[in-house]
Amino acid sequence: MAVGNTSSMVSECFIHQPKHDLEEHSDRRFHLNPWDLMSSDPQHYVQYGLLFAKNDDAKEDEEAYSIENLLHRLKHSLSLALIHFYPFAGRVVKNIENAADSHSSSRYYSLYVDCNSTNNNRCGAKFIYAISNAAVSDLVSPNADVPASLLQSFFHDDRALDYNDPNKSLLTITVTKLADDGVFMGFCCHHCVADGTSLWHFINMWSEIFQTNTSGTSDVFNTISRPPILDRWFPDGHGPIINLPLSCDHTVTNIEEGAPPECRARIFRLSSQKIAELKAKAIAECINNNDGIDISTNNNYTRISSFQAVAAFMWRSITKARRLADDELSIFIFPINCRAKLDPPLSPNYFGNSVGAVKGASKVGELVENGVGWAAWQMNQALVNYGDKEVRGSIDEWLENRWVVTENNRTGHPGMVIINDYTKFDIFGNEFGLLGRPEAFLFGNRKLMRDGSVCCCSLGGKDGGFALEVWLLPHTMSNLLSDKHFMEMVS
């Protein structure tokens, strides 16, 4: 990597919906439900990055594939995407109220997203163009750690949300031109308005609009393949306004305070063949360790998915790399999309937040001794048994206590492994015309990732396979890289 890689902003602007949409929908409010409010801490952003290399067509026709042409088409297609995903163009509004009981000194606040698009001073998604002296190879060098500080420099709007500052957008797009003419696209949204599922939904539809509206001039785009469902879901007897105690207001001015312990991040790849081997091994171990029950008489074991087999492999590998004592506890956590878990279920296109957490635990010695099949079955059962009752129970618990996730109250444990399943998202199918398919997917907000975080996504394409971005303390990462069995499985 070159010494002193930097990224500097060239221009910024706010992108609004076309004028006809602004006039048609001039007074809209997007109310926040319990899932949204849990993630309303000002620092809680979701940041994804897609890395594109300059393709052969772009090299042959410099004028047609210029950065100026790309920026024009991105801005125009973004304005059309905001017609459908208009909360991203809004601003969070906070109202503070006194308790209804005149004898109480308690004060409360509520939040909603103001989507009043006629007030151009308080709406729009931020669009930033930047340049960097880094190259594609600086971000995805094989057998090297992810360069966290360089990567974070591509997200210029990583600051605390200020409810009184109209320049603090809920969605910021940063397009960075690299030294070798590659492009890094950073997608940053505040978590109170959307979870990862909704952000990828938006990116997919923006890409669809970009590829369909090839002229880059039409302001009419009424049809997309998966329109977002913007109707709000609230638990029975609650909403649309939910108050939070003023003690939950964690507005801060310095995001650098309280930095988490330094971790190393590295991307590992599992081929489709290795994934199939892991899954077959996990199922076979379950059968053999259950008194020889034939798979035809107990086909539950066949429900172990490819992702669950890989997750079990990572849980065991990281636990062994930590060199914990046999009687210590090892914990797995799956952040989970709750849309399909509710009864009746929400639409997969429901826009907003709908996230829960599935957990399980084992003594280290038991986890290591029993193998990948046993570990995969623990994960499978934890996921299968998390349903409507558990989702609503977690919401009811929150309504009783009303708290906001912050850096300080995000619980940690030395044996914890958090595994994010991105295999169901269409990540590598997002094309923006002249750029072609992405070379890599990278996380931006390293502060949300802690020791033991794993992100698993599908590589797509005819070869398939998974990419695993793993965050570990430096000595644990060194131990993992020294694990011969682990390294034989990954590339």
pTM of the model: 0.91
Look at 276 and 290; give whichever has higher pLDDT. 276
Distances (CA, A) of 54 to 175, 180, 186, 262, 435: 14, 8, 17, 33, 6
CATH number for 264-489 (one of 3.40.50.1220, 3.90.420.10, 3.30.559.10, 3.30.1360.170): it is 3.30.559.10
On the question of pLDDT at 27 being above 90, the answer is no
Q: How far apart are CA 114 and CA 92, in angstroms?
A: 6
On the question of pLDDT at 354 being above 70, the answer is yes
Among the residue ranges 28-42, 185-199, 247-261, 376-390, the one predicted with the least confidence is 247-261
Percent of the chain's residues with pLDDT above 90 = 61
Mean pLDDT, the chain, rounded, equals: 86
Of 96-110, 225-239, 249-263, which has the strongest mean pLDDT? 225-239
- Answer whether 7-248 and 264-489 agree in fold: yes
pLDDT digits (tens, 9 = 90+) for 28-74: 889 999 999 999 988 888 999 999 988 766 566 666 668 898 999 99
Q: How far apart are CA 403 and CA 88, in angstroms?
A: 24
pLDDT confidence band for 382 (50 / 70 / 90): very high
- pLDDT at residue 28, as a whole number: 82
- pLDDT at residue 2, as a whole number: 46
User: The tokens 């360089």 sit on which residue?
Assistant: 150
Percent of the chain's residues with pLDDT above 70 = 82
On the question of pLDDT at 142 being above 70, the answer is yes
Structural domain boundaries of the chain?
Answer: 7-248, 264-489
- pLDDT at residue 433, as a whole number: 75
Give the residue-averaged pLDDT of 441-450: 76
On the question of pLDDT at 252 being above 70, the answer is no
- pLDDT at residue 443, as a whole number: 85
Of 150-154, 232-236, 429-433, which has the strongest mean pLDDT? 232-236
Of 249-263, 297-311, 315-329, which has the strongest mean pLDDT? 315-329
- Residue by residue, what is the 3-state secondary structure of the chain? CCCCCCEEEEEEEEECCCHHHHHHCCCCEEECCHHHHHCCCCCCEEEEEEEECCCHHHHHCCCCCCHHHHHHHHHHHHHHHHHHCHHHHCEEEEEEEECCCCCCCCEEEEEEEECCCCCHHHCCEEEEEEEECCCHHHHCCCCCCCCHHHHHCCCCCCCCCCCCCCCCCCEEEEEEECCCCCEEEEEEEECCCCCHHHHHHHHHHHHHHHHHCCCCCCCCCCCCCCCCECCCCCCCCCCCCCCEEHHHCCCCCCCCCCCCCCCEEEEEEECHHHHHHHHHHHHHHHHHCCCCCCCCCCHHHHHCCHHHHHHHHHHHHHHHHCCCCCCCEEEEEEEEECCCCCCCCCCCCECCCCEEEEEEEEEHHHHHHHHHHHHHHHHHHHHHCCCHHHHHHHHHHHHHHCCCCCCCCCCCCCCEEEEEEECCCCCCCCCCHHHCCCCEEEECCHHHCCCCEEEEEECCCCCCCEEEEEEECHHHHHHHHCCHHHHHHCC
CATH number of 7-248: 3.30.559.10
